[in-house]
Structure 1
Amino acid sequence: MTSAWLPTATCTPEACATGAGPAAGAARAVLRLTAGTAVVAAGILLAPAAALLGTRPRHRLTASWCRAVLRAFGVRVTVVGAPPGRPVPRAAAGPGELVVANHVSWLDIPLIAAVLPGRMLAKSEIRRWPVLGPVAARGGTLFVERDRLRTLPGTVAAMSGALRAGSRVVVFPEGSTWCGRGQGRFRPAAFQAALDAGAVVRPVRLSYGPTGAAAFVGDDPLALSLWRVATAARLTAEIRLLPPLVPGPRTDRRALARSAQLAVARLSANRPSPSVHQCVNSSPADASSVRTPS
């Protein structure tokens, strides 16, 4: 039974996973599905060896693998914002970076990891999945028991420790997928980890076109979502890297969550919370449009 406090979206497969746009031929769709599955399987097989690498080479390998996954499924990717190789402004007390993004699809995970590889926060059920669970754990994934509120402080402490150690931690603070036409409230718990570690927060906006092809919401079966992605003729994904938020001395987690949510929603990019400072890069944001980011 699902706990009443868990975040839920109003999106449903019937209402949101429609209007997928032009369809590719059946033969091309089968080829994409086969290629995508093969690339994912290759990553799983190589994961134990990759875990032995240092952080930077492992991140480079992870990014390359995720680009290959997106390419195999025929997804064209546009990256808008500071290039991932550019140094990120850091808060004085902590070298890590908390990446927060809206959540639309299972595609969000390889899309972010292709540009900003780091340690993902995932629901604890994934840890128990055969094959993928151990691989995720070995890759540094942090897990949250979504139906056990009392375990949340421990999860926040683990995230804070990872940030203090210099890791990039990636979180979807809506807690559930939305189709992209709407957005859920950013839950504040993850932002407490950034405050405890003195880490900056990097808001990221993800969007897809056509939205229906990528949306993975409600009780939508994964197999059906994979097929929609594979059959989409011109599926595009945009990842927009927004200016980092540097918490001020009196910032609380709710204010920080609101500022990040507004930035991702493009509602008030120039009016952050009074106790949160947007750190804007000195040079204009760069943009690229390619099949997958280089």
Structure 2
Amino acid sequence: MNGAAQANPWRPVGPCSTAACVTGPAVAAGPLRRAARLSAALLVILAGIPVSLAACRTPARLRAAITRAWARLLLRALGIRVVVAPGTPGAEGLVVANHISWLDPLVLAAMVPSRPLAKREIAGWPVVGRLVAGSGALFIDRERLYALPATVAAVAGALRAGDTVVAFPEGTTWCGRGMGRFRPAVFQAAIDAGAAVVPAALWYHEGAATSTRACYVGDDSLLASLLRVAATRGLAVEVTLLDPIRPAAADRAALAVLAEARIRTHVLDHTHGTGALGAPSLPRSLARASRS
């Protein structure tokens, strides 16, 4: 990682870059394996277009199940193994996770029937926008700050309806060796809906070592990241859903700090205690809860 993140509360910029953070694969995939992965991924993506159009007209639970199956197929096509940590509980409510890659929403969708909270720009992307919309995504427009209350209300409404919503409160991606601060706005939706907040820790690795191959940082392009993933053998992502946090009387800032601290502590265990994650100090009222 290089330098400190630029200070912008609405559009944060992480300090990671491909030059400083991305290393070569522990074991590289050969040309035939790469071609096979990319071909299979393209077929899954193209097949997803008519499926997403049909899914828009189905009940929420069926749509989530279809999205889950499609996400699993795409990850498998790319050679990514999803590992669910032992003892991981189920997820119902607002799932919040550390953000490393464009693959993160797919990973969580493959594990948890859910609706992602995505930035508005994605809706305009060719093919990808159609697929994301078909998954039942809720969109946030970071250029229109006055629209934020409406987005929070939409997330709260989805939670009240029984949907699980996935969000990445950092607002940007890091390489996997570090984390940013969680922005508190989306946590207000959990408070308004009386829904649990479920922290989810994502860890990409090759063998026992943290991998930055899947990250999407700096001036990275989606194509460059995709090619890098396809060229990596043995890439896996471990998903750990931590114990749910009940909003109770906590405010959104306190919930953000607590959820972030739980994820940060968990991910730090995988980075061998290097201190790269820069764990924040917790308010005294939350310190005991974070260790429970």
1:47: how far off?
A: 1.1
Q: Which runs of 5+ in 2 are unaligned?
A: 1-5, 267-278
* Cα offsets for 1:68-93 (capped at 9, x unmatched): 11111111221015567x5x5xxxxx
* Cα offsets for 1:54-112 (capped at 9, x unmatched): 2333222221111111111111221015567x5x5xxxxxxx60000000011111110
Give the aligned residue type for 1:168: T
Counterpart in 1 of 2:66? 61
208-217 or 195-204, which moves further after superposition? 208-217
* Cα offsets for 1:181-212 (capped at 9, x unmatched): 01000000010110111110000000111422
1:132: how far off?
A: 2.9
Counterpart in 1 of 2:163? 167
Q: Which runs of 5+ in 1 are unaligned?
A: 89-95, 281-294
Query: Residue 20 and residue 212 in structure 1: after superposition, are their counterparts in 2 closer, same or farther (change >3 A)?
Result: farther
More contact order relative to length (CA 8 Å, sep ≥ 6): 1
1:53: how far off?
A: 2.6
Verify the 8 A CA contact 1:256 1:273 in the aligned structure 2: no
Verify the 8 A CA contact 2:200 2:240 in the aligned structure 1: yes
Counterpart in 2 of 1:265? 264
* Cα offsets for 1:236-294 (capped at 9, x unmatched): 11011111011122x010110011001111269xx9973696798xxxxxxxxxxxxxx
Counterpart in 1 of 2:269? none
1:156, 1:237 → 2: CA distance?
29
Give the aligned residue type for 1:188: P
Counterpart in 2 of 1:233? 233
Verify the 8 A CA contact 2:41 2:74 in the aligned structure 1: yes
Alignment of 1:1-294 (within 5 A): 4-5=8-9, 6-82=11-87, 86=90, 97-210=93-206, 211-249=211-249, 251-266=250-265, 274=285
Verify the 8 A CA contact 2:67 2:135 in the aligned structure 1: no
The number of residues matched between the two structures is: 267
Query: Residue 71 and residue 48 in structure 1: after superposition, are their counterparts in 2 closer, same or farther (change >3 A)?
Result: same
Give the aligned residue type for 2:152: V
Verify the 8 A CA contact 1:118 1:170 in the aligned structure 2: yes
1:35: how far off?
A: 0.5
1:56, 1:272 → 2: CA distance?
38
1:240, 1:71 → 2: CA distance?
19
Query: Residue 20 and residue 272 in structure 1: after superposition, are their counterparts in 2 closer, same or farther (change >3 A)?
Result: farther
1:45, 1:279 → 2: CA distance?
46
* SS of equivalent residue, structure 1 residue 27: helix
2:130, 2:119 → 1: CA distance?
14
RMSD: 2.4
1:51: how far off?
A: 2.5
TM-score by length of 2: 0.84
Verify the 8 A CA contact 2:115 2:164 in the aligned structure 1: yes
1:136: how far off?
A: 2.5
2:93, 2:87 → 1: CA distance?
14
1:187, 1:260 → 2: CA distance?
11
1:149: how far off?
A: 1.8
Moved over 4 A (4+): 81-84, 275-280
Query: Residue 68 and residue 17 in structure 1: after superposition, are their counterparts in 2 closer, same or farther (change >3 A)?
Result: same
